[in-house]
Every structure is written in C-alpha cells, then in structure tokens.
Amino acid sequence: QVQLVQSGAEVKEPGASVKVSCKASGDFFTSYAMHWVRQAPGQRLEWMGWINAGNGNTKYSQRFQGRVTITRDTSASTVYMELSSLRSEDTAVYYCARFGPHYYFDYWGQGTLVTVSS
C-alpha cells in the first residue's frame, strides 16, 4: 500500500525558508520520480519540480528556479522540498506526488499548509 505522509503546517516570516518533508511507505521509493505541486488559496495547481528518487537528479520549474531545492534521503524513504526567500504569495498548500508507471501523479501526500506572514 503506497502512502505519502507529509510534515505538518508551517508559519514563516517573509524572507525565511521552509522545508517540507514527504515520507513514502511501500517498496517503490527509488523506482519512481517524486514531484512537488503547490496550490495557493482558491488558485490553480502549480508544478514546482521533481526528483529522481533513485539517482537524485532534479528538475525545477523556471518560476521557482533559484529558490527551490528538492532532495531525498533514500535510507528514510523521504523527499524534501525547501523554498527560500519566502513572500506572502508563497502561502499555499504544498503537495508531494508520485509519478507512477503510467506517467501521471498516481499518489499524493495529504498536503502541507505553509503560511507566510509577518
């Protein structure tokens, strides 16, 4: 049974960084890519980037290039998404999602609300 469990809600001040974790259960971890998608309140889903959990290669959205870093810890079956230089517009729910064998997001984490406020 595949499950993706994310870390809890965060409140950050503008200019700070946030690191969200996503722990995977099941024996698939290094076989698939893991993506991060965010959704600001009342807004669309927005793709941020992904990591090949097997070799650690990453690809980031141009929109977040330079501010986002995705890493993984294979021993803990966990991927991380760190977003720096936070601003109020980064207030959103952040999701991790597995990119499955049929090339779509087949499993999602429960979401982590990040609030950026002074």
Partner 1 sequence: NFMLTQPHSVSESPGRTVTISCTGSSGSIASNYVQWYQQRPGSVPITVIYEDNQRPSGVPDRFSGSIDRSSNSASLTISGLKTEDEAAYYCQSYDSSNHERVFGGGTKLTVL
Q: Which of 35, 53, 98, 114 binds partner 1 (CB under 8 A)?
A: 35
The smaller minimum CB distance to partner 1, of residues 9 and 16, is found at 9
Burial profile 31-50: b = 16 or more Cβ within 10 angstroms, e = fewer: ebbbbbbbeeeeeeeeebbb
Under the criterion CB under 8 A, does residue 109 sit at the interface with partner 1?
yes
Under the criterion CB under 8 A, does residue 73 sit at the interface with partner 1?
no
* CA gap 92, 108 in Å, rounded: 16
Under the criterion CB under 8 A, does residue 1 sit at the interface with partner 1?
no
The smaller minimum CB distance to partner 1, of residues 86 and 93, is found at 93
Torsion, Cα of 16, 36, 93, 65 (10° steps):
40
The smaller minimum CB distance to partner 1, of residues 55 and 118, is found at 55
